[in-house]
Amino acid sequence: MANNIAPAPITIQDVADLVQVSPKTVSRVINNEPRVRPATRERILKAIDELNYRPNLNARGLASNRSFLIGLFCARPGDYLSEFQAGAVERCREASLHLMVEPWDVEGPNIQKQIDTLLGQLRLEGVILLPPLSDHRLVLNKLQQAAIPVVRVAPQENLNMAPSVGINDYAAAREVTAHFIKLGHRRIGFILGHPEHGATQQRYLGFVDEMRAHQIPVVPELVQTGNFVFADGLVCAERMLRAASPPTAIFASNDDMAAAAISMARKFGLDLPRQLSVAGFDDAPLATMIWPELTTVRQPVAAMARRAADLIIQLEPRRNGWPERMPRHLFDHELIVRNSTARPAR
Amino acid sequence: MANNIAPAPITIQDVADLVQVSPKTVSRVINNEPRVRPATRERILKAIDELNYRPNLNARGLASNRSFLIGLFCARPGDYLSEFQAGAVERCREASLHLMVEPWDVEGPNIQKQIDTLLGQLRLEGVILLPPLSDHRLVLNKLQQAAIPVVRVAPQENLNMAPSVGINDYAAAREVTAHFIKLGHRRIGFILGHPEHGATQQRYLGFVDEMRAHQIPVVPELVQTGNFVFADGLVCAERMLRAASPPTAIFASNDDMAAAAISMARKFGLDLPRQLSVAGFDDAPLATMIWPELTTVRQPVAAMARRAADLIIQLEPRRNGWPERMPRHLFDHELIVRNSTARPAR
DNA sequence: GTTAAAAGTGACAGCGCTGACATTTTGTTC
DNA sequence: GAACAAAATGTCAGCGCTGTCACTTTTAAC
């Protein structure tokens, strides 16, 4: 194997020498500081390009006590993560930051240790918290103590601890419910998500309120709790379908569980969507991979991710303190009607 | 908002002072170097723990010209990525390294720039290449020039440029094909994956060879190329089903496309699996979320990821040069038979 | 007990950059 | 064209750690 010698790395001094200025001036250009004559800036930029100079992040970080790292904390990987990640990375790049993804074991006892290590070693410049971490008190407190900018994604409570991004889950859930009702459904089942997940409460609330608004009773038997995973959806759906008076429609808190409901309905030999309408939430890729295709709610995940990263980047410069108000950035959702929902059979 | 003062960070000097040794000795302990009296090591370890000292990565990196960063390069996020990521991160943590995920635009013209930035700025200590990047000459060359350890995941060609992890796609594909044949299928369609993706060739070869071994002709009309995505699967399946003499079975190179084949078959009003058997590859979560559930091949993705990270870590210490032989780490796959495959209708 | 080798420890410079502050240059005003 | 302010640039130390090499102590050998 060839044993290529690493070429002598180019330093800020090399650039300074070439342009005949002090390293400090080059530094100013790199960091986009003002007070550099446009002509000088031009020459330096040119030299940087010519020499193909790349500042050493370690040196930069050591001298300025930065890390150029933003964390994306999440409980477990999933589709949502992938998409979110892509959006966040993109934005980070523009600010020449880097994104590191740290899957966490939320349940485990060593979350404390994990957080200490990450904050101590990495000195992250900001952290994006995906649910259910968005509402994890311990994590939030630690982060606040360390004075690290945080953005919470789809948080449950409005803790006024950090800005957040999300959609109006409540309104979206009302829309889906209204869609069912308009089709003529009255016995509507609901599958709740993970109890600690931000969206869970809001989506359920939206469902209940819309039902109430139409004076339709919410039957306890037809409200089941899943964990946002397919397997749980199966169980929940089965319970409902076995009920003395089964639902004509099921509203699941996410697409995985909705797919499970469809799968279970098929096992019960139901004709879909005639005998059972199902709606999900998220518009995951899965939604159009099953038959019938899912009626669901689309979230602009990538846009939300970009904003989240952006907020960190914006927040970051003023190290001392959060803005007084904690803005909740709400994005527009979209009800996507496909053929998993239809008028109920007579 | 509370404006917590960042506590004065603890440095190596603090530890040294407490134990009454030189910083260098503490450094030796941190880096697991030999030539430290066990008793001294003990005392230092204790002090580190007491003070809750965390070495500053930037300083460490600057002084020793390291970065403690491993890259995971991928073309676009997906389920496979999530799972892989989790496995790799886990292993990296054990070696107190960090994983950063960099989604790349493979097609784009600026891949060159991206790579330069990443290597120049981040000075990654190693890179794991996910397909189709595993076979990307430009990327591989750059990485080799920079003398950065690389592990290729599921590579197409055995370039002898870096160790790799993967399964025996060829053998697995033969097994799936044999399964079809044993059930009594003769007209079997095949949906190829992304042409640059490592597994594509091998899987197709396995299919062809097994067909040949049974003297069953491979009908050109029934071999279609997709891109590993659902939408392409639809198109490929439609073409086959429209053929003068349509297949009784379709073998798709991955689960997404298999799901598409099922979806399309349904649109043709076929009774599944009686009138059409379908098999996929990967055992994605999707495989059990559709009906009928997919017969497919399971890869031990998480284990492969761990190994990949491990290889980087192993490779890393001896900076000068690759091992002579480029080991291909092959993992055991598993044929998972579910109900998407059955005897063909008479 | 002497001696050489090996093991253990320390002194010190410097990695590449930026913060704080000093100095020089330019622009503006009368 | 002085006098001053503002803008532009430079000087220099030091961020926290490790590499190198020098030094001291222990061990082993005779």
DSSP assignment of B92-105: HHHTT-EEEEEE--
Strands B126-129 and B150-153: parallel
pLDDT value at position B324? Answer: 57
- What would the pLDDT profile of A182-205 be if each residue is shown by its tens digit? 999 999 999 999 887 778 899 999
- What would the pLDDT profile of A32-48 be if each residue is shown by its tens digit? 888 899 999 999 999 99
Letter string b/e over residues A89-126, b meaning 16 or more CB atoms within 10 A of that residue's CB? bbbbbebebbbbbbbbebeeeebeebbeebbbbbbbbb
In whole angstroms, what separates CA A236 from the centre of its chain? 26
* Nearest-CB residue to A230 (from B147, B289, B321): B289
B26 CA to D24 C1' in angstroms comes to 18
Q: Can you tell me the distance from the alpha carbon of B145 to that of B343, in angstroms, rounded to the nearest whole number?
A: 54
Contact residues on chain B for A58, CB-CB shorter than 8 A = 57-59, 61-62, 67, 123
Letter string b/e over residues A154-187, b meaning 16 or more CB atoms within 10 A of that residue's CB? bbbeeeebbbbbbbbbbebbbbbbbbbbebebeb
pLDDT value at position A108? Answer: 64
pLDDT value at position B1? Answer: 34
Q: Is the CB of B42 under 7 A from strand C?
A: no
Residue-level length of chain B? 346
- What would the pLDDT profile of A149-167 be if each residue is shown by its tens digit? 889 988 877 777 889 999 9
Q: Is the CB of A12 under 7 A from strand C?
A: yes
Whole-number percent of chain A with pLDDT over 90: 47
Residue A173: pLDDT over 80: yes
| A10–chain B nearest CA distance, Å | 10
Between B9 and A330, the higher pLDDT residue: A330
- What would the pLDDT profile of B190-229 be if each residue is shown by its tens digit? 999 988 777 889 999 999 999 999 999 999 999 999 988 8
Is B162 an interface residue toward A (CB < 8 Å)?
no
Q: Where on strand C do bases come within 7 A of a protein Cβ?
A: 7-12, 14-20
Q: Is the CB of A21 under 7 A from strand D?
A: yes
Instruction: Enumerate the H helices of chain A as residue ranges.
Output: 12-19, 23-30, 38-51, 57-64, 79-94, 111-117, 137-145, 169-183, 198-213, 230-242, 255-267, 301-315
| A209–chain B nearest CA distance, Å | 31
- What would the pLDDT profile of B218-250 be if each residue is shown by its tens digit? 999 999 999 888 889 999 999 999 999 999 999
Asked if A4 and B147 come within 8 Å (Cβ–Cβ), the reply is: yes
Q: What is the pTM assigned to this prediction? A: 0.77
Contact residues on chain B for A3, CB-CB shorter than 8 A = 147, 320-321
Lowest mean pLDDT, pick from A330-344, B72-86, B236-250, B323-337: B72-86
B38 CA to C2 C1' in angstroms comes to 29
Q: Can you tell me the distance from the alpha carbon of A298 to that of B265, in angstroms, rounded to the nearest whole number?
A: 27
| A234–chain B nearest CA distance, Å | 10
- What would the pLDDT profile of A57-87 be if each residue is shown by its tens digit? 899 989 988 877 776 654 444 456 666 777 7
